[in-house]
């Protein structure tokens, strides 16, 4: 019996949630879940339809992309996950989707401006869109470099991954993360909804202003601040 049964189960459930939330079709997307104590993570196998997935199909790897357990080939995006786990030590799970509105902003190569409190309930800045990868990065270790493109974007913009749990990768789509795989999936859904709201807002009023700093702070702090009073 596997030593990773619980991790696989967690990872499996988070992946299945992607489909239940209509964030993916066919084999699109993937979620991983990390076990920090053992320095390993579980991830969806590559190209398997969600209907056919079972918990035991999840693949276990270390942060250097060595398969620790599993018979199937891991997601083709595995190296991106590994890089993020290695560099951002407080992440518990990562999700990647091709959800429609999130992808549209990524293809448009635009940050999603912070236009309302739905956005500010989750983060205090525009949702960053990292630039598309250049030819050298693509020709190299592509999925590994995808991870670097994300961490480089956060470094150059001085963003903290613990406060900004999502990014758009230009030309590609969204990556989100959080304290757990379930939370990463939650952020994928919130991002998709915020992306849709922002697009509709700008169609009604192309000059819709960003939120005031005061309102951003208020909404973020009441959920995430020291004196947060949202939730139980």
The SS3 of residue 91 is: coil
Does 105 contact its own copies by CB under 8 A? Answer: yes
Does 16 contact its own copies by CB under 8 A? Answer: no
Task: Please tell me the number of Cα atoms within 13 Å of 90 on its side-chain side.
Answer: 7
Q: Which stretch binds its own copies (CB under 8 A): 35-43, 62-70, 71-79, 174-182?
A: 71-79
Q: Which of 35, 62, 111, 121 is catalytic?
A: 121
Contact 70, 60 (CB under 8 A): yes
The question of whether 111 is a catalytic residue gets the answer: no
The question of whether 121 is a catalytic residue gets the answer: yes
DSSP 228: -
What beta strand segments (E) does 170-227 contain?
A: 173-178
82-99 burial, b at 16+ Cβ within 10 Å, e below that, comes to bbbbebbeebbbbbbbbb
Please identify which residue in 9, 65, 87, 100 interacts with its own copies, judged by CB under 8 A: 100
Least distance to its own copies, CB of residue 38, Å = 26
Please identify which residue in 104, 141, 159, 162 interacts with its own copies, judged by CB under 8 A: 104
Token pair listed for 69: 């357990």
Helix residue ranges per DSSP H, 44-180: 78-87, 100-108, 117-120, 135-139, 142-157
Contact pattern for its own copies over residues 23 through 62, marking x by CB under 8 A: --xxxx----------------xxxx--------------
Could you list the residues that contact its own copies (CB under 8 A)?
Answer: 25-28, 45-48, 72-73, 76, 98, 100-101, 103-110, 115-118, 132-133, 135, 138-139, 142, 171-173, 186, 189-190, 193, 196-205, 208-209, 211-212, 214-215, 218, 222, 229-232
């Amino acid at each position: 019996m596997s030593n990773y049964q619980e991790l696989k189960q967690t990872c499996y459930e988070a992946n299945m949630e992607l489909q239940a939330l209509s964030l993916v079709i066919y084999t699109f997307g993937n979620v991983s879940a990390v076990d920090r104590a053992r320095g390993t993570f579980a991830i969806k196998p590559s190209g398997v339809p969600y209907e056919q997935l079972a918990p035991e199909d999840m693949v276990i790897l270390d942060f250097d992309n060595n398969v620790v357990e599993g018979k199937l080939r891991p997601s083709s995006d595995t190296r991106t996950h590994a890089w993020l786990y290695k560099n951002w030590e407080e992440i518990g799970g990562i999700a990647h989707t091709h959800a429609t509105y999130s992808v549209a902003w990524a293809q448009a190569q635009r940050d999603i401006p912070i236009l309302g409190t739905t956005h500010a309930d989750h983060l205090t800045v525009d949702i960053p869109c990292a630039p598309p990868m250049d030819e050298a990065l693509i020709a190299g270790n592509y999925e590994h470099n995808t991870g670097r493109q994300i961490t480089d974007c956060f470094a150059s913009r001085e963003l903290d991954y613990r406060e900004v749990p999502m990014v758009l990768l230009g030309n590609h789509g969204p990556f989100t993360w959080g304290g757990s795989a379930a939370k990463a999936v939650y952020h994928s859904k919130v991002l998709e909804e915020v992306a849709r709201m922002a697009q509709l807002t700008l169609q009604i009023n192309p000059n819709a202003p960003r939120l005031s700093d005061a309102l951003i702070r208020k909404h973020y702090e009441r959920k995430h601040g020291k004196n947060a009073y949202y939730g139980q």
